[in-house]
Amino acid sequence: MQLQKKLLFKFLKNKVLGSYHLRIETILHGFSRHEVGDLKIAVDDLLKKGFLIWHSKSKKAIQLNKDKLNEIREFLIE
């Protein structure tokens, strides 16, 4: 849960939505080595919740779901 919030905060801070996206490899570089396995699980969970979506032109890049920004902000406040 904490990693999911950390990841979502990073995406919001960098405004990763709309036409802007990040590749999975780039996201992994921003975290420490011992968090990488848990981070992949967190990304999968956030994709299932609909907070993150695959970028339309690349299946290796993700971005925030702009339709769920209010829900994302509420999730971060919890």
Find where tokens 């992949």 sit: 40
How many domains, in total, are found in the chain?
1
CATH number at residue 43: 1.10.10.10
pLDDT over threshold 80, residue 22: yes
Q: Identify the CA nearest to 72 among candidates 45, 50, 53.
A: 50
Residues comprising the chain, all counted: 78
Q: Identify the CA nearest to 26 among candidates 36, 13, 12, 18.
A: 36
Q: pLDDT by residue (tens digit) across 24-63?
A: 888 888 778 888 889 889 999 999 999 999 887 777 899 9
What is the domain extent for residue 6?
A: 2-77
